Every structure is written in C-alpha cells, then in structure tokens.
Chains A and B, each alone.
Chain A
Amino acid sequence: MFTGMTELRHRYLRHHKKFPHVWCPGCGNGIVLGAFIRAIERLGLAKDDIVFASGIGCSGRMPTYVDFNTLHTTHGRALTFATGIKLAKPSLTVIAVMGDGDAVAIGGNHFIHAARRNLDLTAIIINNQIYGMTGGQASPTTPYGAHSTTSSFSNIEHAFSIAELAVAAGASFVARGTVYHAAQLDKLIEKAISKNGFSVVEIMSNCHVQFGRRNKMGDPVTMLKWLKEHAVSKDNGSSIPPDSLHDKFTIGILADVDKPDYIEEYKKIREKAKRK
C-alpha cells in the first residue's frame, strides 16, 4: 500500500511543535529520517510502542522531531539507555540513532558490547565521517589523508569500518547503505528493526558543510555523487578486481544470523532462579 510522504509527515512528525529542524540545507539526516519513517510505516508499528533514542550531535536531534517515545541521551550512551528500556519493557521496539563519533569513538565500547550481548535493539548509525555539530573535527571514520579542523595538514589516523566492526563484534544483523541509495535504505532499516537480536544499519551520509568543504566536495550533489561512486553492492563486490576496491565500501546486508536474544535467554534464567 502506497502512502504519500505528506500523509506520513503528518502521522509521524511533531510538525506543529518542533520545526524548523537544526540541520543544514542538503544534510543527509533528512533522507535517513524519511527512510526510517517509511520503514516504521511498512512495519505497521504503533507509535506508543516505539522508543527512539539518540546520543549527542546532529543525529542526536532526530528523535526530537518524531512522535514516538523519544530520548536524547548523553554523548555515545544511547545504546546503554536503550538497553535499560528494552529490558524493563521488552514489548517496546527500541531503536537508537547515532553518529560516527557518537557510536564508535565515545560510545565505541557500548557499541561492541551491545553487539556481543545480542539484546533486541536496532542501531542506526549515520556515518558522515566528521564531527559535524561541533564544527568539523576529525572522527574515527574520517578517511586517512582527509582534512578537518583538527587535522588541517591531513588526517594521519585510519578509519573504522563500522559495519565490519559490528559483524566482528557479533551483531545478529548488519547492513550498510547510503543516503544516495534511499530506496534500499528503507528496506535495510525495515529488516533491521524486524530482526530479533541486535541489528546495525550503517548509513554513509554527506556532511558537505563540515567535511565536504574541506575536502573539495563543498555541496551536497558532489558528495552524493561521491557516495554513489564509492559504494559497491555486496552482490557485485566479488566481480570487481580487489585493487580497485581499496577506497570503496560495501553496501547491502553484511550479516544476518539467528541466535537467541538476551530477553529469551533471561526468561530461562528467571525460571532457573525460581527453582532455587
């Protein structure tokens, strides 16, 4: 069933309270928010049953705009709050949105342990390769050699691959998309939310204002083109010569495994404890 975006906006956005938003014109966050709302609509979840949590940064403002149970936590800690909420009320669908600095710098430890623990949460990570809100400082995903306000002469550190990190840490579902491939993004987020277990969607996004301008991509269109040219579909990856893949990233579903989630396991613990 097709539902127009206008109708979705009225259904899901706190349009009468919290707009205009804080994001710059052309920001990828709006595309992510659109994909997220379309995924929720397709899943048919009730607004009362959704908790949408965030950390700090541009991504951290996203929950403010949507009409769910929303939570804007401390920097990097969204998953820790989400963990408490989910354990306290397992019937809720709990989704955390984070940025790259948020999720894998200050929140890196929480991220890998959430993946290992396999509690049924969904982590949406918007990777724009920079600290945007604070003014363009290098993040753990800023590419080697890129320029930022804290690496004016070029970045000498190496970037995390967030999705691969999540796979290695044991997440049940891991996918990567981009804000250029918006239609695919809807589906990836939908699958991640419906997956029982810890799910991650890394979304490569554009920050032309803080990242692009310092790296010869000062407008959104140039950055979206960059995303298009550097994304390699997982299905096609094997047919491309490896040496031309070195600055590319894979998009699609990178992991989808079934294992018991924390809530199911804890139910067994309660039964055992009561027999004592």
Chain B
Amino acid sequence: MASELSGKKFLLQGNEAMAEGAIAAGCRFFAGYPITPASEISERMSYRLPQVDGTFIQMEDEISSLGAVIGASLAGIKSMTATSGPGFSLMQENLGYACMTEVPCVVVNVMRGGPSTGMPTSPAQGDVLQARWGTHGDHPVIVLAVSSVSECFSIIITAFNLSEKYRVPVVVLSDEVVAHSRETFTIPAAESIEVVDRIVPNVPPEWYKPYEDNSRGVPPMAPMGDGYRHHVTGLMHDAYGFPTERQDEIEAFIKRQFRKITNGFFEIQITKKINIEDAEIAVIAYGSVARSARRAVAMARAQGIKAGLIQLVTLFPFPKNTVVNVMRQCRAVLVPEMNMGQISREVKRVNTGLTEVFKYNRIDGQLITPLEIFEEIQKI
C-alpha cells in the first residue's frame, strides 16, 4: 500500500509522515490514546491501517496501549504506539516489560512542555533522560530523535528495523514543532526502503529455547500460535523463559541485554555531521533544535567562524565515539536544547578534559531560534 502513495508529493505534518513511515516499515498494529501533540499519529493510523489489512485500536489509556502493542508483537505483528509526556510516563511500566521479555515495539513520544500537564501545545525536550531511564531496573533501550518531516518518515523505519533486529523497544522522540510543521515530502518507492524483520526460529519446536544466547545475543523470536509454545514472563527468566532465581542465569541474562546493544553500536549510533571537517566550534543538537542549529552554523560560516554541527539522531546508546572525536578536534562545543541540560550532561560525562562544553537552554515553551544559537557561537 505504501507503493500506492510512493513517488507522490504530499504536504505532510511530522505526525502524518511518522504514520506513513511506520506503515512503510511494515507496522500493522497501532494502539493508542488521544493526547496533544501526538493525536494526529493515531488519527492517521486509524484511517490507514485498515486499508493495508492492519489493525488500529483506541485503548482506555496509555498503559493498555503499550500492553496491546506488546501483545500484538508477541503474535508476530510489527506494532507501535504514540503519545506525549504524560502518556509516556504511564507507559514506563510496560516499556520495562518489553525490555525484560525482549519484545520489539516502537514508542513515539512527541515531547511537550512538562512536568505534569505542563504545556500541551508547546515544544520541549524534557523527556530525554526519561526515555533512557524511565522504567525501573537496569535495561538497554534505543532512543532516536527526529528533526524534520522527512526524518519522521525515515527514522521511524530505522526504529522498527533496529527494534526487530535487536529485540528491544525503540523510543522515538519527536517534539511539538516537528510534529505539527508541514513540509513537502515525497514518499519514496517501497523498493528503495530497507525493511528488517525479526528472525524466527528454524529449529523444531521441541528444540526451541526462546531466550537462549547466541553470537549476536539476540535469540530468534517465535510468534504465538505457530507451534513454538513457550512461556513469556516479566519475572527474571532462564533460557526457556521460565522464572529463575539462579544467580548465574540472572547475571548472564542482564549482561546479554547490554551486550546485544553494544555489539550493534556501529549501526545503532546514528549521527549527521555538517561542516565538521575543519570545525573549531561544534554545535551538538537533536530534534527541532538541530534545524535551528543547522542555520546557525551556516550564519557563523558566513561570518568566517569555523562552526560545525553534529546532529544526534541516536540519543541512547549515547554516540560517545563520534562526540569524543569532535571534542578532540574543537576548542569548544555548544549544546543547545529545550530543557535544563539533559544531553549536555551526557556530553560533559564523556568530556575528559578534551574541550570546553557550553550549554544553551530554553524552557519557556519556545523553539530555540537560529539567531540565538548564532549569538551563542559568537560569544564562545
């Protein structure tokens, strides 16, 4: 069905592009609950999924939305939900369940001002560390951030691919500006889109161990109802999926969760570099702020300042190597973000005296403008 729209040019909202990208990635199940500024994703999915033999359901809250998404994924269908801050808080419980049971799923959080009800119609980036650490316990998770309508389409596909390949929930952070901005966008041909599907077992059911380690650390996943009867539990479990209290099994399980992500750093940690080759000052930005930063860097270059931009598409696992290499090269880095300093905290964490780290923060519900970032670059 994506092929029916592919090649055509649309004036799309970020939220709408996100829905189209999900369908192109093979998503056929969406469960959600209305919330500003994410509702358009639900609305578009409710219209589009039945056209492609998928299923949309509006649930009673965000807790049940993610529960249904995990259930559908267990039955073998690529699934997602979308929400904003308050709903994302409610999803933390089942997000942990998806981590523990290694169920692929995609959760979109269109960030708005917080805490609590906060500013439903204003952009913010206050949920970055919540996306990483929101659910309890040690767990790996992949967090991506989008900055434009075209990225809403392409990065949600990346999110599904990584989720399927590594059997982890992937959180995609959007924000109110990206979600509601309209840009022209041409839906690419289906053949040009790389779609990854989870690996299913190729052994007879009686040999199948649903949580057995292998070289990748990602066990094959059998959909429910295909003869591979097994147990799935949020309790700490052994290779068969049954509850365990054995110390050797517990430690091996948790370490495998981290190892499988570490093994994939080369493709999970996505960044975009602009004018970095000879940069002396680097701006590190993500989400809608990266759009402003791109312009600010161009303005600085026009003034003869050697500025560059690293746009973080992957926020977690934090792309340490890329950031460290740039810090080695630059005399200063600037981290503008719409919070009190959540990614700048990560940048400072990996900065072992390599360079000077400057923050620029807005928390008043307004997008950081190119001029503001340009002025900050000038001050450095």
Contact = CB atoms under 8 A, between A and B. Distances in A.
Interface in B217-247: 223-227, 229-235, 240, 242-243
A80 B68 contact: yes
Interface in A87-123: 87-89, 91-92, 109-110, 113
Given A113-B64, A273-B47, A89 B225 contact: yes
Given A266-B50, A273-B47, A77 B63 contact: yes
A64 B234 CA distance: 12
Nearest to B93: A74
B4 to A, nearest CB: 11
Interface string A58-100: 0000011001111111100101111111111101100000000
Given A49-B225, A80-B64, A85 B51 contact: no
Contacts of A89: 75-77, 223-225
A15 interface: no
B75 A80 contact: no
Interface centre among A81, A83, A266 (most CB of B within 10 A): A81
A126 interface: no
Given A109-B60, A270-B50, A274-B50, A92 B232 contact: no
Nearest to A106: B63
B75 A85 contact: yes
B340 to A, nearest CB: 31
Contacts of A68: 229
B72 interface: yes
Contacts of A73: 67, 97, 234
A246 interface: no
A89 B69 CA distance: 13
Interface centre among B53, B72, B223, B224 (most CB of A within 10 A): B224
Interface in B64-120: 64-77, 79, 93-94, 97
A85 B230 contact: no
B51 A88 contact: no
B57 A69 contact: no
A68 B57 CA distance: 26
Q: How extensive is the interface on chain A, given as a class?
A: 35 or more
A84 B229 contact: no
A74 B71 contact: no
A51 B226 CA distance: 11
B371 interface: no
Contacts of A86: 71
A56 B304 CA distance: 63
A13 to B, nearest CB: 13
A270 B60 contact: no
Given A48-B229, A68-B229, A74-B234, A87 B57 contact: yes
B59 A80 contact: yes
A111 B338 CA distance: 39
A22 to B, nearest CB: 9
Nearest to B66: A80
A269 interface: yes
B309 interface: no
B67 A83 contact: yes
Given A64-B233, A266-B50, A83 B224 contact: no
A105 to B, nearest CB: 14
B234 A51 contact: no
Interface string B41-65: 0000001001101010101110111
Interface in A188-246: none
Contact of A88 (B50, B71, B230): B71
A187 interface: no
Nearest to B61: A109
Given A64-B233, A69-B230, A87-B72, A80 B67 contact: yes
A80 B63 contact: yes
Contact of B69 (A74, A84, A92): A84
A18 interface: yes
A75 B168 CA distance: 21
Contact of A18 (B65, B224, B226, B242): B242
A82 B79 CA distance: 14
Interface string A20-39: 00000000000000000000
A79 B70 CA distance: 12
Interface string B320-361: 000000000000000000000000000000000000000000
Contact of B71 (A63, A84, A270): A84
Contacts of A72: 231-235
Closest 6 CB pairs of A and B: A84-B71, A80-B67, A84-B68, A88-B75, A273-B50, A72-B233
23 contacts: A48-B229, A64-B233, A64-B243, A70-B232, A74-B234, A77-B93, A79-B64, A80-B68, A81-B68, A81-B71, A84-B67, A84-B69, A84-B70, A87-B68, A87-B71, A88-B73, A88-B75, A89-B76, A89-B223, A109-B61, A110-B63, A110-B64, A266-B50
Interface of B: 29, 31, 47, 50-51, 53, 55, 57, 59-61, 63-77, 79, 93-94, 97, 223-227, 229-235, 240, 242-243
